[in-house]
Structure 1
Amino acid sequence: MNTIKLAIITSHPIQYYAPWFRYLASAGDLQIKVFYLWNFGVTHQIDTGFQQALQWDIPLLDGYEYEFVPNVSYKPGVHHFWGLQNPSLISQVKAYNPDAVFLMTYNYASIYKFLWKWNSSEIPLLFRGDSHRLLQPTGIKAWARQQFITQIYRRFAACLYVGKANYGYFQYHGVPSNHLFFAPHAVDNDRFFTQAESAKHQATIWKQELGIPSDHAVILFAGKFESKKRPLDLLQAFLAANLSQVSLLFVGAGSLEADLKTAAAHHSNIYFAPFQNQSLMPRTYAIADLVVLPSYGASETWGLAINEAMCLSRPVIVSNHVGCAQDLIHDKHNGLVFTAGNVSALVSSLQEAFSDRQRLRRWGEESQKIVSQYSYTHASKGLKQALQYVIAPSKEKFQLNK
């Protein structure tokens, strides 16, 4: 019985995906090799969103086979189309001789070249994306973009969707339902579950160090301080909500940092902490009594910070432009969803959340139950179903664990 050889192409080592690759490799029924197009995350480089140099402090290259494909871009990165230019990508993947190729990104120069030249009738292509149309563009440009993306997706024998909004996006671009397989977005749940108790103890100490009153509940925003994340909306809503014994904590960095601190300067109970690396993220969520992600626009394709927060049993509030809203937030069971960009609606959501503190804690407990179904196990099941489908003519050669 042969093992399926799967080539995985992705931009760079990512803290959410590397543990999944390790999980796939350890399962034993797939032989995988990851082809990275850039070395961000494992070397010290500037992150354009955080506007500072960083390197993730958890292992991202352990436990699975990988190789880096030389990137000749004059300005490497994933923030622009020409940031990934890898002339040897096709030859390196061919040398691996895979049974299928799994792409986790496509909107870069290297990938378009790969899609144009790869013989997908001989070795099938799979794609996993997380885009959505929660903010629906209109007009001739939107129509032209739909037509173009529809042609791109025809290159793939199957697509993996991460949630409901993403499923709708694929269908809008002409992907038939029998070509779609559910592989939910997930983080390394086990890492957060196992560190939960120690993280709570660390958070108590950190709360004292930050000067937050011990009897205050904490609303947390953790991420990049940039306009699409709408941290200023949260600050304004917090001030308007006038919550008793509640503090607001911003953790991160970015272009809006000065604006946020200026807006908070003359108000009490608003605190700031710098960017926290991956090893400190369990503590970061553990300090919170409520986690809020108020993003606006199409760029918050999922919001994996919400998965992480829910692993720490945190209740959550997100805007309706956050990709995971329809999947992870069960209204008044583990959190609330408000209309993106509507500060008054966010004010009401904050007041509703803190109107019953015991209920808020129950919401957090429910969060962990919900997110346990969004795991690498479930994502792997979807991937294996897709592989069985695309390699159907010779599937008798292969046996994958369900």
Structure 2
Amino acid sequence: MKKIIVVVSHPIQYHAPIWRELEKESKLDSEVLFCTNHGQNNSFDKDFGISFKWDIPLTDGYKHKFFENKPLFFLGNFGSIFNPKIIKTLAFDKYDAVYFHGFGYLTHFLGILIAFLRRKKIILRNISYVFDKPKLHKRLLLKFFFKTINNFLYIGELNHNYYKTYDVPDNKLLFAPHIVNNALLQEKYNHNKSYDYILKKKYNIPVDHKVILFCGKLISKKQPLILQRAFNNLNLAKWSLLFVGDGNLKDKLITDANSNTHFAGFINQSEIHEVYQIADILCLPSKFGETWGLVVNEALNFKCAILASNRVGSYPELVLKAKSGYVFDFNNANNLQHQLQSLTNNLTDLECMKTNGYNAIKDYTPDKIVKQIKNALNI
């Protein structure tokens, strides 16, 4: 049996199914080391502008430990996670491999170097992409640093291209899709349309309306304002726009809203399925920082069509290849409006896209990631 240590910043609702799946493997002894307990306790999120904690279990079903974080703030965000006891564990404990989710914190960076010096197998999953050519010094630095990594788990085409920018060889790259808990979400999906009517009433949406959903932080980089403008300009009959989330643009959105625009506020994980249940289209108009967009995975589990900007990392796989919707230029509000009009005007095509996406997302499961971890370890 091989021992693998997983190092991750904090419990993340999308990761828990992976660690549970890893725990099931009879040929692996796995343990997850958390650098912080963010999300476990009530804490303030500056983008949402509210305090909350996730209301579903994130650490059940697998071995894990929490470690004290001793941030070195003079190093900026890089030093905001520093765990001396994790470094000690990696330096002295017995293990065969270590899996790092990201490398942008001091703990992760030092941990990779220690594991490399100890000649342990290192697996990295870093969810990034690059559209502009990186500066020469960054390219040289990461090209050198990436030579310490044995295998990279890439989540899609854009992430694959990111690694190729730094000359990572193909034999080190393993496709491991970005996932949500499909099994739980599809268990929540109620095919009885009478349930939709109940939920629409709950969110003050006319029961005969179809729904365009925005689900995320109401902040500038997510661009909710251009979606609202497009919706207002089109004046769509029997369509409603539902904003789920909170943030500093909420007051502006409410001020500019028409009578068919609705606001649900922040909704936690145990109830988020309700808004996907009544949605027909998910729109994700982000202009940067959307390295994948797991709301797309979530929405596809409920047969939503997708309208995404070309800065959403999942668009090549889950929109274009899946034929689940349309992609628009993040910097072109008219393009968004045109694509939204196309989706809402042709309901036959819309239904085909919804089915296409629902079928495509079935392959995005945690066992695919665990399989690639096993491949990296020659199991």
- Give TM-score scaled by structure 2 length: 0.94
Identity percentage of aligned residues: 34
Match status 1:350 vs 2:340:
yes
Cα deviation digits, residues 37-92 of structure 1 (max 9, x gap): 010111111122212111111111111101112102277xxx93232121111222
Alignment-derived partner of residue 282 in structure 1: 273
Shift of 1:16: 0.2
Match status 1:108 vs 2:105:
yes
Alignment-derived partner of residue 396 in structure 1: none
Check whether the contact 1:20–1:188 (CA below 8 A) recurs between aligned residues: no
> Please, which of 126, 132, 135 is the counterpart of residue 136 of structure 1?
132
Match status 1:269 vs 2:260:
yes
Structure 1: state its 5+ residue gaps: 389-399
Q: Secondary structure at the match of 1:88?
A: helix
Q: Which stretch of structure 1 is more off in the superposition, 235-244 or 312-321?
A: 235-244
Match status 1:248 vs 2:241:
yes
Q: CA distance change for structure 1 residues 32 and 246 in 2, over 3 Å: closer, same or farther?
A: same
Match status 1:63 vs 2:61:
yes
Q: Secondary structure at the match of 2:200?
A: helix
Paired residues, what number? 377
Alignment-derived partner of residue 394 in structure 1: none
Alignment-derived partner of residue 14 in structure 2: 16
Alignment-derived partner of residue 48 in structure 1: 46
Shift of 1:109: 2.1
Shift of 1:335: 0.7
CA distance in 2, matches of 1:161, 1:7: 19
Alignment-derived partner of residue 213 in structure 2: 220
Check whether the contact 1:229–1:296 (CA below 8 A) recurs between aligned residues: yes
Check whether the contact 1:296–1:321 (CA below 8 A) recurs between aligned residues: yes
Q: Secondary structure at the match of 2:377?
A: helix
Check whether the contact 1:202–1:283 (CA below 8 A) recurs between aligned residues: no
Cα deviation digits, residues 78-115 of structure 1 (max 9, x gap): x9323212111122235552100000011112222323
Question: 1:2-401 counterparts in 2 under 5 A?
Answer: 3-73=1-71, 80-94=77-91, 96-120=93-117, 122-133=119-130, 135-137=131-133, 142-197=135-190, 203-264=196-257, 267-297=258-288, 299-330=289-320, 333-388=323-378, 400=379
Q: CA distance change for structure 1 residues 184 and 120 in 2, over 3 Å: closer, same or farther?
A: farther
Check whether the contact 1:181–1:382 (CA below 8 A) recurs between aligned residues: yes
CA distance in 1, matches of 2:375, 2:28: 12
Q: CA distance change for structure 1 residues 157 and 347 in 2, over 3 Å: closer, same or farther?
A: same
Shift of 1:256: 1.6
- 1:33 is matched by which residue type in structure 2? E
Q: Secondary structure at the match of 1:5?
A: strand
Q: Secondary structure at the match of 2:215?
A: strand
Check whether the contact 2:35–2:66 (CA below 8 A) recurs between aligned residues: yes
Check whether the contact 1:199–1:283 (CA below 8 A) recurs between aligned residues: no
Q: CA distance change for structure 1 residues 204 and 144 in 2, over 3 Å: closer, same or farther?
A: farther
Shift of 1:242: 2.6
CA distance in 1, matches of 2:195, 2:233: 31
CA distance in 2, matches of 1:5, 1:202: 46
Shift of 1:215: 1.2
CA RMSD for the aligned pairs? 1.9
Shift of 1:281: 1.7
Q: CA distance change for structure 1 residues 171 and 6 in 2, over 3 Å: closer, same or farther?
A: same
CA distance in 2, matches of 1:123, 1:294: 41
Higher relative contact order (CA 8 A, sep 6+): 1
